[in-house]
Amino acid sequence: PEYAEELDHFSRLRSEDFRKIPREEISSSGYVVSSLEAAIWCLLNTNDYASCVLEAVNLGDDTDTVAAIAGGLAGLAYGYEAIPQDWLNVLLRREYLEDTCHEFSRALVYRGTDKEF
């Protein structure tokens, strides 16, 4: 289709050896493809939530973007319980954030059904 040529930009992500790319070859420049590659690379080369996010930050350059993506992916992979408690304890408006996320996740679960949440 019309965007097929854009897939070429993601060729490294489709490689079976993507995980083995040396850290020096991972860019965290802020370019959307580089940010996605960096975040996925961090997830594939670490074993827990904190390590994934810290690896993303330690790549340098556009650390907030890459760490946000990596944190989201690590959250999906490891779950909320894997987020270090001391990181959660310093969140401003933590209860509001948790309530909002909980309601959003319930809405996703019940989406497309006739059940109330």
Comparing 111 with 71, the larger pLDDT belongs to 71
pLDDT at 117: 52
pLDDT at 1: 76
pLDDT of 98 above 90: yes
> Once rounded to an integer, what is the mean pLDDT over residues 4-21?
94
Q: What is the pTM of this model?
A: 0.87
pLDDT of 115 above 70: no
DSSP summary character for residue 63 = H
Look at the block and give the residue holding tokens 């991972």. Answer: 26
What lies within 8 Å, CB to CB, of 43 at 6+ separation is: 52, 70, 73, 74, 77
Alpha helices in the chain (DSSP H): 32-44, 49-58, 63-78, 85-88, 94-110
pLDDT of 35 above 80: yes
Q: 116: pLDDT confidence band, cut at 50, 70 and 90?
A: low
